[in-house]
Amino acid sequence: MTEWFNETLYKDIAQRFTVSRVIFRERTEHQDLVIFENPVMGRVLALDGVIQTAEGDEFIYHEMLTHVPILAHGSAKRVLIIGGGDGGMAREALKHAAIERVTMVEIDRGVVDLCATHIPSIGAEAFKNPRLDLVIADGAAFVKSCADRFDVIIIDSTDPQGPGAVLFTRAFYADCKRCLRPGGILVTQNGVPFLQPDELKNTAERLKSLFADTAFYVAAVPTYYGGFMAFGWGSDSAAARRVAADEIARRCAAARIETRYYTPELHVGCFALPRFMRDLMGA
């Protein structure tokens, strides 16, 4: 009898994965966590019934939410990750030797410990890296009182429900903006616009009210099904977003990072958006 994991993110449409083996399942302090194995995607993490990350395609999401802002910035030394409990975002950010510190603020210790134990391929190495500062706290509370300043802030959150809801508010984005150094860049996990149009519309409105330069870029991540996944972008100038492809290629070569999805050409091309997304953004 085949067992299925049925994702519960949407009311009228759903994806499902066969479950070869349940590796771990428990209610952590904040959310229901399950780690299971699937023949196509490998080990998969789901929180509150929503797929968070899978061994099979996590590289796409983690590469695009780190290398695009870090290489666009060009001289990032301090990176802040909000969420990111599986460790994949920290892994990719730490590939940049020029980055001195990565601070990762994850609300749920259980996600960090269980992913390091049961899906070590994604982030276990990152958690051992001396340049990583792991803080177990609510990301919104952290940026509200944080005295540190960062060159890149990455919001690697769950969807805007449960503990992740606060990470999509204008107040949170305003606190993130205050924690950016001049020329700093904020990027956000911003859902799949074809199925979550309000997430794009709302973030666009909120970021536009705070940042001189607001944009979105995209990547196709199979486990975040429904078409392109959108990433929000806020900065105090468009300069970083408009760095020419040959300069991005030079920076990428100098950083000597190994990638499986990100390329300098894709870095420039991923900001070209479908008309329906531009309409949702009011662009």
CB of 234 to ligand SAM, least distance (A): 18
| C-alpha–C-alpha distance, residues 88 and 123, integer Å | 5
60 closest CA partner among 270, 278, 244: 270
108 binds ligand SAM (CB under 6 A): yes
First to last CA, the chain: 50
Q: Which of 69, 87, 160, 164 binds ligand SAM (CB under 6 A)?
A: 164
CB atoms within 10 A of CB 22: 12
138 binds ligand SAM (CB under 6 A): yes
User: Would you say 33 or 281 has its CB closer to ligand SAM?
Assistant: 33
Strand partners, 17: 5
| C-alpha–C-alpha distance, residues 110 and 128, integer Å | 17
User: Would you say 106 or 251 has its CB closer to ligand SAM?
Assistant: 106
Our measurement of the distance from residue 76's CA atom to the centroid of its chain's CA atoms, rounded to an integer in Å, reads: 17
| C-alpha–C-alpha distance, residues 261 and 252, integer Å | 13
Residue span binding ligand SAM (CB under 6 A) among the ranges 158-166, 179-187, 195-203, 261-269? 158-166
Query: Is 279 one of the annotated active-site residues of the chain?
Result: no
Q: Which of 9, 80, 99, 111 binds ligand SAM (CB under 6 A)?
A: 111
Instruction: Give, in order, the Cα–Cα distances in Å from 172 to each of 67, 145, 196, 248.
Output: 23, 11, 20, 30
Hey, is 139 helix, strand or coil? Answer: helix
Binding mask 45-84 for ligand SAM (x = CB under 6 A): --x----xx-------x--------------------xxx
User: Would you say 157 or 268 has its CB closer to ligand SAM?
Assistant: 157
Residue span binding ligand SAM (CB under 6 A) among the ranges 90-98, 150-158, 231-239, 254-262? 150-158
Binding interface with ligand SAM (CB under 6 A):
47, 52-53, 61, 82-86, 105-108, 111, 138-140, 156-159, 163-164, 166-167, 189
**Which residues belong to the active site?**
156
